[in-house]
Chains A and B, each alone.
Chain A
Amino acid sequence: MLDYILIQALNGLVIGVIYAVIAAGLTVIFSILKIVNFAHGEVYMMGGYFGFFAIALLGIPPFASVIVAMLLSFALSVLFERTLLTPLYSPTTERKGDYGILVTFGISILLRNLAIILFGPFPLRPPSFFSGSFSAGPILMSWDRIFAAGAGVVMLVGLLLFLSRSAWGQALNAVSQSRESAAIVGINDRLVYTLAFGLGGGLAGGAGALVGPIYALSPSMGLVPDTQAFAIVILGGMGSVGGSIIAGLLIGVSEGLFVALFPDPSRSLAYAQAFSLLVLMVVLLFRPTGFFGRAHAAME
């Protein structure tokens, strides 16, 4: 029993890294564009399929398919941002928050149902990154999970370095603090919006490609991570990338333990999804600013 709990906790840690990548993307979008992206889970789903078809059609090796998936998801996000989100930057648009919610919700419906047509409703499983599993004593874990966690950590570290060290990252940070002031010092804010939305989508897509060999791909796979990412982003504080990484790990591990400890095993998997939703609702009720929120990133 103790071994089972340990394995579930480790599995939770792996999936927590993936959640953190998804949530970090959502946070980047939120802190720059000031909208909550309801289509984020669907970009994650598309990323998984981009990876799958990069391997199946182009014959790219599995670990390189993650990069292809990130690039294509970046491009897809930029396309949506350029065509549909430009009214967010116009001073004549009323109630921009509502517009953002409805448009991204519409994108999510469109993408999910488009995926059913293009890829079929049945689950697809891309080939493994590395076959076999790692075992040490009671612990047994597939190399896919270890690779996914490692690649996820690389993405997160890369994101943090990009945000803190590069000029573009500092431009993103500046726009997230004040659009006007950033514009005064010569930052092209339109380009920063595009970059932020694309970057967030790229992270989600990369996470989708990493998850592919672990769980199978299906058009509705984005629904749960989407709400989980909301839970993580709110728990970690809207707009705080570091906070969402910590919260992602926290939620992943507690979800793994929930599955291990739930008294009725036949229902534990079904209620694991409800668990993160309940966490989300409780956080929204009692601590809507999260634990690491930055004051200027408060949602209007």
Chain B
Amino acid sequence: MRSGNLAGLGCILLVALVFPFLVDTYWQTVGILAIFYAIVAASWALLVGYAGQFSFGHMGFVSLGAYASALLVQWLAIPIPLGMAGAVVLSTIVGAGVGFICLRMRGPYLAIFTMAFSEVLRIVLLTENEVTGGAGGLEVAPLFHTRSNLPSYYLALGLLAASLGIMSLMVASRWGLFFRAIRENEQAAAAGGVRVVRFRVLVFAIASGFAGLAGTFYGPFIGILTPDIGSVDQMGIVVAMAMIGGAESLPAAVLGAFFVEWMYEALRAYGEWRLVIFGALLLLTMRFARNGLLALAWNQAVRVVPAWRRTQPAGGAAE
């Protein structure tokens, strides 16, 4: 890694660390939610942008992790962190299972199947209200018994840094190459020696595990879980985040999540219009800048300042 990149990373980290002291409680909460979405969007980008495994069921895994962790804590009376760990393991296993049974599907078939999976999960969570609280919601015990947002913020930041670090190492290694080979052409990848079955199941398991992790954090932070967390509209927000940032780069997806979540708050006065705006923005991005707005902005910046061409954008958004 170049020293310039290292310095940039340090700056970003510094800003992230002092951020909660620069803003009020309200924006701290927004920041925590943005970090939650960033983990989800980045793991979706790993699954879809890198490995080309189209999933519209990612928020299903988030709600699986969230509900599993809350119910484990409730039933077994175990400490919350243990419940979170158990839920992450469960999401990973279920993700591997879904990845395994979907091995024959690709493209739209996979998208339809995963969407159906997450809708079935949502309907079950909604209907079995004796266990899950149904539409009224499931109360979740908080992780930190304090009014301050700071512990939650730094935990979220730590989780994001850890997930992003693990995923970045993975995509920078041979595995990342395998994932992209599978995305471009499965047969050719298999002919080239990539164990397609193993890596398709693996990427599904890993991405679902991180989605579950984000869910386990979301429950205790918000305090109440409703099946809506796994709805198609929520999935739409995550898709918009990843695609607006650029789904073929993990940091770009994270920045997309921050941008969309910030816009979501900044446009609060427009209420219902916000999802329409995000939908339109997603469509415009797809139509005119398929690699995401970040890559587009970077290419424009390079045109103005050619000296930047040597440095990579925040993690290689422009391929």
Q: Which listed residue, A36, A110, A277, touches B120 by the CB 8 Å rule?
A: A277
Per-position 1/0 for A15-38, Cβ under 8 A of B: 000000000000000000001101
A84-B283, A101-B54, A278-B120 as given contacts; A227 in contact with B112, CB under 8 Å: yes
Q: Which listed residue, B105, B109, B116, B282, touches A109 by the CB 8 Å rule?
A: B282
Q: Does A112 contact B (CB under 8 A)?
A: yes
Would you list which residues of chain B between 114 and 136 have a CB under 8 Å from chain A?
Answer: 115-117, 119-120, 123-124, 126-127
Would you list which residues of chain A between 95 and 145 have a CB under 8 Å from chain B?
Answer: 95, 97-103, 105-110, 112-114, 116-117
Contacts of B113 in A (CB 8 A): 280-281, 284
- Please determine whether B276 and A99 come into contact, CB atoms closer than 8 angstroms: no
A288 to B105, CA, bound (A): 8
A110 to B123, CA, bound (A): 23
- Please determine whether B290 and A99 come into contact, CB atoms closer than 8 angstroms: yes
Q: Which listed residue, A112, A267, A277, touches B119 by the CB 8 Å rule?
A: A277
* Min CB gap B162→A, angstroms: 29
Q: Does B236 contact A (CB under 8 A)?
A: yes
* Min CB gap B210→A, angstroms: 21
A113 to B232, CA, bound (A): 12
Contacts of B108 in A (CB 8 A): 35-36, 97, 100-101, 299
Q: Does B111 contact A (CB under 8 A)?
A: yes
Q: Categorize the interface residue count of chain B.
A: 35 or more
A299 to B272, CA, bound (A): 36
Would you list which residues of chain B between 258 and 311 have a CB under 8 Å from chain A?
Answer: 272-273, 275-276, 278-280, 282-283, 286-287, 290
Q: Does B241 contact A (CB under 8 A)?
A: no
- Please determine whether A110 and B280 come into contact, CB atoms closer than 8 angstroms: yes
A116 to B107, CA, bound (A): 30
A84-B287, A97-B108, A113-B275 as given contacts; A281 in contact with B117, CB under 8 Å: yes
- Please determine whether B233 and A112 come into contact, CB atoms closer than 8 angstroms: yes
A98 to B56, CA, bound (A): 12
Q: Does B12 contact A (CB under 8 A)?
A: no
Q: Does A173 contact B (CB under 8 A)?
A: no
The DSSP consensus for interface residues of chain A is helix
Q: Does B243 contact A (CB under 8 A)?
A: yes
A231 to B113, CA, bound (A): 10
For B111, the closest partner residue in chain A by CB is: A101
* Min CB gap A280→B, angstroms: 5
- Please determine whether A109 and B279 come into contact, CB atoms closer than 8 angstroms: yes
A97-B107, A98-B107, A227-B119 as given contacts; A117 in contact with B278, CB under 8 Å: no
Q: Which listed residue, A95, A110, A277, A288, touches B104 by the CB 8 Å rule?
A: A288
Contacts of B275 in A (CB 8 A): 109, 113
Q: Does A2 contact B (CB under 8 A)?
A: no
A204 to B199, CA, bound (A): 39
Contacts of A35 in B (CB 8 A): 108
For B118, the closest partner residue in chain A by CB is: A277
Q: Which listed residue, A83, A84, A288, touches B109 by the CB 8 Å rule?
A: A288
A99-B290, A273-B119, A299-B107 known; 14 new pairs, CB 8 Å cut-off, are: A105-B236, A106-B279, A107-B283, A109-B240, A109-B278, A110-B283, A113-B272, A114-B276, A116-B272, A117-B273, A223-B119, A273-B123, A281-B120, A288-B104
Q: Which residues of A contact B (CB under 8 A)?
A: 35-36, 38, 83-84, 87, 95, 97-103, 105-110, 112-114, 116-117, 223, 227, 230, 234, 267, 270-271, 273-274, 277-278, 280-281, 284-285, 288, 299-300
8 A-B pairs (CB sep. < 8 Å): A84-B286, A99-B286, A105-B239, A230-B116, A277-B123, A284-B116, A299-B108, A300-B107
